[in-house]
Chains A and B, each alone.
Chain A
Amino acid sequence: NSKVIQTPRYLVKGQGQKAKMRCIPEKGHPVVFWYQQNKNNEFKFLINFQNQEVLQQIDMTEKRFSAECPSNSPCSLEIQSSEAGDSALYLCASRGTGGPLYAEQFFGPGTRLTVL
């Protein structure tokens, strides 16, 4: 069973407010991904890290999105000024670097963001 921990499970914000969510990857997994799953089940890759370094990120939706994975602290994803269109399930996933070339990504339960 996945041990990726995401908090909070639910987040309700007004438009323009900051929204911050956290992720503790599975122990020993140095690679962390953030995905957005909308109500139509479309997954959108946002960013991923290996240890503390960004490997790849999208255009971070007009710079309103920021993320970090500091050492010895949870990873975080923050939306500076929430918009209604940001309402979605935000999923954190982690994987190791050993083993098969395309190793399994383990997902947390997600943070469901609702922007009113």
Chain B
Amino acid sequence: QQKVQQSPESLSVPEGGMASLNCTSSDRNFQYFWWYRQHSGEGPKALMSIFSDGDKKEGRFTAHLNKASLHVSLHIRDSQPSDSALYFCAASEPGNTRKLIFGLGTTLQVQP
């Protein structure tokens, strides 16, 4: 079973609209989460991290973490066609390695 689950698998929003992506962890050891974005032909690039309960805002992007339910979300305000990409939620595994455990991603399409 995936330790990090994302929904929806794909999402289409109009330009200027709001995109909402969801992520749930099944492992309570995971306390630190990242959102990564991957455009076609590129490697993933970090958008933001979150480890405190509540909201964290960076420009048009807002992440929300609920530690009790291990639910993380990402909201993209005023979506642009350049936001069309694969979005991954990743949890940092605690310990010396701190490797990332990724979900299967959400494909976002922003329609001009």
Contact = CB atoms under 8 A, between A and B. Distances in A.
A33 interface: yes
A4 B43 contact: yes
A65 interface: no
A93 B42 CA distance: 13
Contact-residue size bin, chain A (C-beta under 8 Å from the other chain): 20 to 34
Interface stretch (A13-21, A37-45, A67-75, A78-86): A37-45
Contacts of B105: 41
B100 A109 contact: no
Nearest to A50: B96
A110 B43 contact: yes
A40 B86 CA distance: 12
Interface string A75-116: 000000000000000010100000011101111111000000
A55 interface: yes
Nearest 7 A-B pairs (CB), nearest first? Answer: A107-B43, A43-B102, A56-B97, A102-B92, A102-B32, A45-B99, A41-B105
Interface of A: 2, 4, 6, 33, 35, 40-43, 45, 48, 55-56, 91, 93, 100-102, 104-110
